[in-house]
Amino acid sequence: MANDKHIDKQGEVLTQEPLNPKQRSRRDFLEGAGATAVAGTAIVGTAIPGLGISTANAQQSNPSSNPKTSISLSVNGRRHSLQVDDNWTLVELLRDQLDLTGTKIGCNRSECGACTVLMDGKPVYSCSQLAVWADGKAITTVEGLAQNGRLSPLQQAFVDNNGAQCGFCTPGQLMTATALLHNNPAPNAEQVKQALVGNLCRCSNYSAIVEAVVSIADRGGVA
Amino acid sequence: MSEASNQLPEPFNIDGPLNTIGNTTARVDAVERVTGEAKYSRDIKLPGMLYARVLRSPHPHARIRRIDISAASSLPGVRAIITHETAPIVWGAGSVDGGRQYNDPTKEGTQQRRFIFNNPVRCVGDSVAAVAAVDRTVAEQALKLIKVDYEELPFVLEPEAALEPGAPLVWPEGNLCPDFRHNYEPMVSNLGDIDAGLAEADQIFEDRYETSFVHNAQMEPRCALAHWQGQKLTLYTPTQGISNCRHDTARDLGLEDHQVRVVCNFMGGGFGNKNQNQDADLVAATLSKAANAPVMLEYSRKEDWLGVHGRWPTVQYYKVGVKDDGMVTGIQMRGYSGMGPYRKNSGGISGMDAYACENRQRTIYPVYTNRTTSGNFRAPAEPHGFFAVESMMDDIAYKLGIDPVDFTLKNMNRPTEARPYTNFSLDECIALGRDQFDWATRRRVTPGSDEGPIKRGAGFSFMMFRAGVGTSSAIVRVDSNKMYTLFVGVTDIGPGAKTTMGMIAAEELGIPMSQLEVVAGDTDRCPYSVGESGSRTTIQTGYAVMQAAKDLNQQIAAKGMPSGNDVLIASATPVPTTDGKIRQCFGAHFVEVEVDTRTGTTKILKYTTVHESGRIINPQTAKDQIRGATLQGIGQALHENLLYDPASGQPLTTGYYRARHLTHLDVPEIEVTFIEVDDGYGPFGAKTAGEAGIILAPAAVANAVSNAIGKRMTSLPISRDKILQVLL
């Protein structure tokens, strides 16, 4: 069973320490997440992924019986102290528990960038971060960009430049671009493309997005 | 260019912008899109909502001997499980003879029916069972407890191989898909006398082209939230046509249309794979009924890749007869379209109709295979067909020592007295593009003639594409506060339909956009609309909006503005015609590439597009439609493919990275110029724009690569390995 494998890995990595999800490496997590993605579609009959869910817990079926960890984090400036299931990803925490559905799930496997949020100011794929890893962090989502009902200059630039076609990748594009603009208030098109390379847009509205970000310098505003 | 004298008189070119139309206008829902307030289907939560997952076949072809759901059923938290035994529901739009997706009688007569769960399963990813449970984790655990006893069957992946004697049969009747009359015959169209045309030629050219399966790959994976209240079903689902989705879902579930409500306020792209209803809608509805609770079914990215559809792969054999002066005398094409195991769409291969040659024969074999299902993707029959036929013609032009643009001007379709057009501007598109691009300088008269390992070349393509008129509906209302409400059954799948409809209404009503609210995306609130497919929304629903607004204006003129609680309402369902004339949009693309012959890498240096799409309603969104579609076409030309392992029948490139989709860094500047014309048809003369750009890009890019390296590239995608191989 994968649970055994998980314990093996735990022993290997954490040398018999009790499982502390906050200490798990990203690689451990991604291996587990990959197994979920494959097994979730049941295309390949792999075993149950080891994401801290034991078979026994699953048999009890009550979601609240999953292993939990207490974390506290700030999301868009609001502090939250809460218990999270160890197998929740950050995007699940944001969307399902905090009702911040602006962050989108496009691939759930670090390919598309639709789920990008800022963690302590840096863009991360929230589909590939465990919620427990956000303990003590400051998270900003697309809902946190507008202040006091006023769009950020970048949001306004997206409105004016048709930065969103279907709009599904837009929150991710906005978050990565916001981080870029904090570091470089007047990027040129090439720098914007470099920064946003991890945010796919199948409408292929790439040029309009870049034009919107580049226009920020002329608007005299940071993101 | 003596043919040009055949042209009918041009209609008038339009003057400047109108009050609203022709002025770049921010989307009416732009703020929701940039703040995260926009609720897409998967963002909706209902009290007591369950989560659903689908079990899919790991085999390319297998008979299910037995499904044992006992262990899964007893897993606490599982609320419903359905299989082919317990839910034998026909998905009418999933397989329809001839691919006639909007034709109820054809659907009813279809014999090779696709169910929401099939036995045998006919491709990797074919649905086997579905589970609804209290949360995602339990649903996924339950899938793993379903025991399926498969008897593996032989499989076939390639369309030509599937038609060979002794090939594994995807369906007992054979692997050739039936036509819309339910006959097992290829699609044949004959014009003139192909034998005489080829006999008349001085030279005959023949070649084989092939194109790959290209997934629509919209950012929003498929999902569906089903909620029954008594005998009424509400579906929150990403669809490119709420009216069609409602009708198809009602038929498949044995309901009346009014018993189904489809809601889609925001939708994360589709490009053709969210037309009508999808099996996800039927699965969610059936699970919801069984579990007596709202059910949210979510597809993973990989499931979306394998369980929905992409553009059909093709093989195309051409035989073209040409006079020594470059006049084409006959075009013959035999094509094979890989439809996967179900005939979801036509399998069409267009392109040769763009030539005036009077002797043409086209034979297309739509073929069942054990690959994933093929279906509509933005201009369903066009990019692969235009790529092949325009590559063929480009090749012939160079072999005859003729500039491919001149060759085109000599041979392309033009209006005749027997075939009049509402207007024809292809000559202008080509002439303007040739100038803007500086074609004479960038093209290599001798292909592959650059010295050194890095070679440049230029390619050209042209197209004409349907912009026909048709019926749709709209309702507009005004209250005593002079606030107007437009009710249209559109969804904004990306091109901005809500905004476009609002702009047309505001123009006709003579009001600013701020005085107008657009209500869309809900079958219980909006009248019928044709759906966001076939480039029909702007032309058809837009025309209905215009007519409803005219009616309202007349009512206001006759009765005055309403007072108190009174309102005035106008509705329209016009059935416009083009008076027997052909109505098309036109375009020409010119591209310069640089190929590194050491690595096989292709880089785009310059890309010039000229389009005539009638009057442009919203300049910025129209431009971005052309840019986005062109980029998708570049991806099809250079990268995208769904590779299969021939030994196991397993798909290998099921995702963005694996299929190598374009990123920000791959994007060249796409120059867009519109030639604006009002031909007197459609809303204010607007024509097709959404699908137009993708039609030309694969042909233009392929021709440019061939011009650079001096070898004809006959297989899409033109990946690095293929370039290196032809240069060996």
Report ipTM for this prediction. Answer: 0.96
Q: Give yes or no for residue B236 having a pLDDT over 70.
A: yes
Residue A34: its pLDDT value, please? 36
Model pLDDT, residue A56: 31
Model confidence over A166-196: pLDDT tens digits? 999 999 999 999 999 999 999 999 999 999 9
CB contact under 8 A, B35 and A155: yes
List every span in chain A annotated with CATH 1.10.150.120.
Answer: 153-218
Q: Which of B150, B160, B152 is nearest to B648 (CA)?
A: B152
Residue type, B381: A
Q: Chain B 530-559, CB below 8 Å of chain A: which residues? A: none
Predicted pLDDT of residue B6: 36
Within 8 A of B667 by CB-CB distance, chain A residues are 193, 204, 206-207, 210
Residue B657: predicted pLDDT: 85
pLDDT of residue A24: 52
pLDDT at B326: 98
Flag if A174 and B34 touch (Cβ within 8 Å): yes
Q: Write out chain A residues lying below 8 Å of B34, CB-based.
A: 142, 145, 151, 155, 158-159, 163-164, 170, 174
pLDDT, position A23: 56
Please report the pLDDT score of residue A36 as a whole number.
Answer: 36
Cβ contact, residue pair B266, A167, below 8 Å: yes
Q: Rounded to whole angstroms, how far apart are CA atoms B497 and B237?
A: 18
| CA distances (Å), origin B299, targets B140, B308, B699 | 12, 10, 33
Quote the pLDDT of residue A52.
28
Disruptive mutation site among A93, A112, A168 for chain B (greatest number of B CBs within 10 Å): A168
Sign of CA dihedral B25, B31, B33, B38: negative
pLDDT score at A33:
39
* pLDDT band per the 50, 70, 90 thresholds, residue B637: very high
Distance from CA of B636 to the nearest CA of A (A): 12
| pLDDT above 80: residue B226 | yes
Lowest mean pLDDT among A93-102, B149-158, B485-494, B650-659: B650-659
What is chain B's mean pLDDT, rounded? 96
What pLDDT shows up at residue A217? 87
Q: For residues A95 and B256, what is the distance between their CA atoms, to the nearest angstrom?
A: 35
Which residues of chain A are in CATH 3.10.20.30 domains? Answer: 70-144
- Establish if B147 touches chain A: CB-CB under 8 angstroms: no
Structural contact between residues B38 and B108, judged by C-beta atoms closer than 8 angstroms: no
Q: What does the block give as tokens for B358?
A: 């009077």
d(CA B288, CA B227): 6
Say yes or no: A3 contacts chain B, CB-CB below 8 A: no
Which residue is it, tokens 């589970």? B131
CB-based burial label for B441 (10 Å; 0-12, 13-18, 19+):
exposed
Average the pLDDT over B672-688 and give the result: 96
A112–chain B Cβ distance below 8 A for any pair:
yes
- Give Cβ neighbours of residue A149 (< 8 Å, ≥ 6 apart): none
Q: If contacts are CB pairs under 8 Å, which of residues 486-525 in chain B contact chain A?
A: 492-496
**Touching check for A131 and chain B: CB below 8 Å?**
no
Indicate the fold that domain A153-218 takes in CATH.
DNA polymerase; domain 1 (1.10.150)
User: For the residues B501-518, what does the mean pLDDT come to?
Assistant: 97
How far is the alpha carbon of B132 from chain A, nearest alpha carbon, in Å? Answer: 13
Yes or no: say if B458 and B590 are a contact pair by the CB < 8 Å rule: yes
Count of helix runs (H) and strand runs (E) in chain B? 19, 24
Contacts of B300 in chain A (CB under 8 A): 37, 40-41, 108
* Whether the predicted pLDDT of A39 surpasses 70: no
B232-259 burial: b if 16+ Cβ within 10 Å, else e: ebbbbbbbbbbbbbbbbbbbbbebeeeb
pLDDT band at B238 (very low <50, low <70, confident <90, very high): very high
Domains of chain B are: 1-37+412-469+580-728 (3.30.365.10), 41-153+223-298 (3.90.1170.50), 157-217+310-401 (3.30.365.10), 470-572 (3.30.365.10)
Name every residue whose Cβ is closer than 8 Å to that of residue B254 and which is 6 or more positions away in sequence.
none
Which residue from A37, A44, A210 is facing B664, i.e. has the nearest CB?
Answer: A210
According to the model, what pLDDT value does residue A3 have? 34
At residue B96 the predicted structure's pLDDT band, cuts being 50, 70 and 90, is very high
In chain A, what residues touch B50 (CB-CB under 8 Å)?
Answer: none
Strand partners, B595: B455, B602
What is the rounded distance in angstroms from the CA atom of residue B320 to the CA atom of residue B600? 30
Residue A20 is predicted with a pLDDT of: 55
Amino acid type, A208: A
Chain B residue numbers with beta carbons less than 8 Å from the beta carbon of A145 are 34-35
Contact call for residues A212 and A191 (beta carbons, < 8 A) = no
Q: Are B462 and B387 in contact (CB under 8 A)?
A: no
Give the residue from chain A lying closest to B37, CA to CA.
Answer: A102
pLDDT band, residue B118 (cuts 50/70/90): very high
pLDDT of residue B554: 98
Q: pLDDT tens across B40-76, in order?
A: 999 999 999 999 999 999 999 999 999 999 999 999 9
pLDDT value at position B108?
A: 87
What pLDDT score does B478 carry? 98
Give me the pLDDT at residue B11, please. Answer: 46
| pLDDT at site A35 | 34
pLDDT-derived band at A44, boundaries 50, 70, 90: very low
- Cα B129 to chain centroid distance, Å, stands at 29
**The pLDDT of residue B239:** 96
The full length of chain B comes to: 728
Q: Is B113 exposed, middle or buried (0-12, 13-18, 19+ CB in 10 A)?
A: middle
- Percentage of chain B lying above the pLDDT 70 cut: 98
Which residue on chain A is closest to B133 by alpha carbon? A61
Q: How far apart are CA B359 and CA B335, in angstroms?
A: 17
User: Residue A45's pLDDT is what?
Assistant: 27
Residue A158 contacts B where some CB pair is shorter than 8 Å: yes
Q: Order of strands across the sheet with B584-596? A: B454-466, B584-596, B601-612, B670-674
Pair B389, B354: CB distance under 8 Å = yes
Contacts of A122 (CB under 8 A, 6+ apart): A179
Measured CA to CA, the distance from residue B14 to residue B305 in angstroms comes to 44
Q: What pLDDT does residue B15 have?
A: 67
Q: A70-144 belongs to which homologous superfamily?
A: Beta-grasp domain (3.10.20.30)
Cα separation, A5 vs A7, whole angstroms? 5
C-alpha distances in Å from residue B529, one per residue of B41, B241, B469, B522, B658: 20, 7, 13, 11, 37
The verdict on A194 touching B (C-beta cutoff 8 Å) is yes
Q: Which residue has the tokens 């032009």?
A: B397
Say if CB B365 and CB B186 are below 8 A apart: yes
- The predicted-structure confidence for B172-212, as pLDDT tens digits, reads as follows 999 999 999 999 999 999 999 999 999 999 999 999 999 99
Do the Cβ atoms of B408 and B373 come closer than 8 Å?
A: no
d(CA B120, CA B371): 14
Output the pLDDT for position B103.
86
- Band (pLDDT 50/70/90 cuts) for residue B35 is very high
Say what the pTM is.
Answer: 0.92
Q: Report H helices in B367-425.
A: 383-400, 404-411
pLDDT at position B170 is 98
B416-456 confidence digits (pLDDT tens): 999 999 999 999 999 999 999 999 999 999 999 999 999 99
How much of chain B, in percent, has pLDDT values that exceed 90? Answer: 95
Listed by number, the residues of chain A in 79-108 with a beta carbon closer than 8 Å to a beta carbon of chain B are 87, 95, 99-108
Q: How many residues does chain A have?
A: 223
- Whether B333 has a pLDDT exceeding 90, the answer reads yes
Contacts of A58 in chain B (CB under 8 A): 75, 137-138, 141
Residues in CB range of B365: below 8 A, 6 or more apart: B159, B163, B176, B186, B187, B334, B335, B336, B337
Give A50-59 pLDDT, tens digit per residue: 232 223 333 3
pLDDT exceeds cutoff 80 at A161: yes
Nearest chain B residue to A202, by CA: B218
pLDDT tens profile A96-146: 999 999 999 999 999 999 999 999 999 999 999 999 999 999 999 999 999
User: Does residue B602 carry a pLDDT above 50?
Assistant: yes
With 0-12 / 13-18 / 19 or more C-beta atoms within 10 angstroms meaning exposed / middle / buried, residue B322 is buried
Q: What is the Cα A117 distance to its own chain's centre?
A: 5
How much is the pLDDT for B351?
Answer: 97
In terms of Cβ atoms closer than 10 Å to its own Cβ (0-12, 13-18, 19+), residue A45 is: exposed
**pLDDT band per the 50, 70, 90 thresholds, residue A64:** low
